Amino acid sequence: MSASSPDSPPPSIGRRTLLGAAAVATPAVLGVATPAAAAPSPAAAGSARKKPRALPGGGDLGPNVIVFDPSTPGIQARLDQVFRQQESAQFGTGRYALLFKPGTYNGLNAQLGFYTSIAGLGLSPDDTTINGDVTVDAGWFNGNATQNFWRSAENLALVPVNGTNRWAVAQAAPFRRMHVRGGLNLSPTGYGWASGGYIADSRIDGQVGPYSQQQWYTRDSAIGSWLNGVWNMVFSGVEGAPAQSFPNPPYTTLGTTPISREKPFLYLQGNDYRVFLPEKRTNARGVTWGNGTPRGTSLPLSQFYVARPGVSAATLNQALAEGLHLLLTPGIYHLDRPIQVNRAGTVVLGLGYATLIPDGGVTAVQVADVDGVRLAGFLVDAGPVNSATLLEIGPRGASRDHSANPTTVQDVFVRIGGAGAGKATTSMVINSRHTIVDHTWVWRADHGEGVGWETNRADYGVVVNGDDVLATGLFVEHFNKYDVQWNGQRGRTIFFQNEKAYDAPNQAAIQNGSIKGYAAYKVGDGVTTHEGWGLGSYCYYNVNPSIVQHHGFAAPVRSGVRFHNLLVVSLGGQGQYECVINDTGSPTSGTSTVPSTVVSYP
């Protein structure tokens, strides 16, 4: 690994467990939202005319959505209070969304702990300016940022006090639609370990310094410059990105992103809340908000059922059946049946890491084979009774063409164990064609409560059966068998980060027929077309360091199945890989944490 700043020597490698123990409508240009732009879908409108809704739309956002305007007294004190509560509450129950009305705020430092989201309420990040910082550091964990999960920043302009904002995060910590009028430092104070991360639709005027960050994905953004790379830095559609140079420096650079559609977001029009739905872009590059008003449509809050923790799955499904969308306010929701999303164009938007826990082995969310569903901003936490699946996009056998209006899954995170006992055979199943999975972390916990090879058993992380699926920013870790199994045709992944399960007791426990271990990313034998860029898998078999993993990646050998810039890493010699993909690529060896790479396959 390298850190090219003269005052930041490369930190030595350490892992989380070890250190933890030690320490809709056709898109249109939206100016001012019009009744046409805000209209419900024809089906929803027809249903509303036939009978009045039994459940109201709109309403108060609840006690854990804290809204500030520039005249609010005591903003810093309130921010500090939330941070003190959430700083080290990795598996706690607190959930918060900190929302800032358009305007200018001076002298703030919003430190973000677990399950805390901060966001501006303008149509553009530049509508809400903080002369100050939005900070993530790792003092709570002795300078180790590899467990700085589950927090987010969106839709703000920052003018950092010292010229550079610190955002030292790991997985499930998106930095979206942000304008940093200065630099961005992605490492903790002291340049300790870091294992992030994700940036999208953001402009950083100055330099981005990853320093110790092991891997990072930046999409459809603009940066002044990029300082260094450790193992796997991936860019697609980023103005100012470094040139393609993998593996030295380890930059994977695509000029554009094939298809993208930004995450829905809450904003204010006057005194009224609305949800903006950005339009789909093809061959995207740069931010969506830099030149005038953003493109997309808008829905008033009155078309959303504003859910509070404690509401039943039956009520959520009733709201959906009545033509409402769902806004999940911060908190924990127990489900005794799946949330059924059956209507095209439905939006399910979570605030402050709203968390869904399926009880009794049910699936948390099931989406029909319909156009344009948008799932965004929530966490699914497996329950103690095994669920066959936790999140299903489309039923088995789904085959409709959704290319004009795909379903998007954005900042939807899945966790099995850690906060308590949890089990799921398969976490996320994508059956619908053309689905875009834009930033997810699907995690079988390696630390916390309810953790053990069989205790939080979870065989498969993400299974893709649908054709034409695109993943941008795919983080999947620690599953008992395949972390990703991709059976659909014409699938594409830009950036993949993986660690194999730490806790395998012995070689036999991971044996896959005649193959040593299950690949982190397996392309089905019947697939004829598939492509991936910037994919990494790491092993840390700390329970039994003698375990050997044959390869990180497995795929049929066909000209249409192509990979670019792959790597595997043995962390400190805790287990080894024999190959990178199939039988290709040098083995890892010894205790040196040095990647083995394959630039192009086949």
Query: 65-107: per-residue pLDDT in tens?
Result: 999 999 999 999 999 999 999 999 999 999 999 999 999 999 9
| Residue 301 CA neighbour count, 13 Å, CB half | 19
- For the cut 50, the answer to whether the pLDDT of residue 3 exceeds it is no
Give the predicted TM-score (pTM) of the model.
0.92
DSSP state of 126: G
69, 77, 462, 478 from 73: Cα distances, Å: 9, 9, 46, 45
Share of the chain above pLDDT 90, in %: 90
Position 29 confidence tier, pLDDT thresholds 50, 70, 90: very low
Share of the chain above pLDDT 70, in %: 91
Query: Amino acid identity, residue 385?
Result: V
**Phi/psi at 513 (nearest 5 deg)?**
65, -125
Q: Please confirm, yes or no, whether 499 is among the known catalytic residues.
A: yes
3-state secondary structure 38-61: HCCCHHHHHHHHHCCCCCCCECCC
Burial of 2 (0-12, 13-18, 19+ CB in 10 A): middle
For residues 589-595, average pLDDT: 92
Catalytic residue, from 322, 499, 531, 578: name it. Answer: 499
Q: Report pLDDT for 292.
A: 75
Query: Amino acid identity, residue 290?
Result: G
Position 53 confidence tier, pLDDT thresholds 50, 70, 90: confident
Judged by average pLDDT, the poorest of 33-37, 110-114, 396-400 is 33-37
CA dihedral 29, 25, 473, 135 (to 10 degrees): 60
Position 52 confidence tier, pLDDT thresholds 50, 70, 90: low
- For the cut 80, the answer to whether the pLDDT of residue 37 exceeds it is no
Task: Extract the tokens encoding 462.
Answer: 């993400």
CA angle 294, 352, 368 (to 5 degrees): 70
Judged by average pLDDT, the poorest of 24-28, 394-398, 436-440 is 24-28
Q: Report pLDDT for 51.
A: 60
For residues 351-370, average pLDDT: 98
Q: Report pLDDT for 46.
A: 40
- Tell me how far apart the alpha carbons of residues 366 and 340 are, in angstroms, rounded to a whole number: 5
Query: 556-588: per-residue pLDDT in tens?
Result: 999 999 999 999 999 999 999 999 999 999 999
Q: Report pLDDT for 148.
A: 98
For residues 539-562, average pLDDT: 98
- For the cut 80, the answer to whether the pLDDT of residue 185 exceeds it is yes
Task: Extract the tokens encoding 313.
Answer: 């799955």
Position 20 confidence tier, pLDDT thresholds 50, 70, 90: very low
Burial of 291 (0-12, 13-18, 19+ CB in 10 A): exposed
Judged by average pLDDT, the poorest of 12-21, 201-210, 376-385, 496-505 is 12-21
For residues 394-423, average pLDDT: 98
Query: 499-518: per-residue pLDDT in tens?
Result: 999 999 999 999 999 999 99
The kind and range of the H/E element at 507 are helix 507-510
139, 207, 213 from 111: Cα distances, Å: 11, 21, 20
- 209 SS3 class: strand
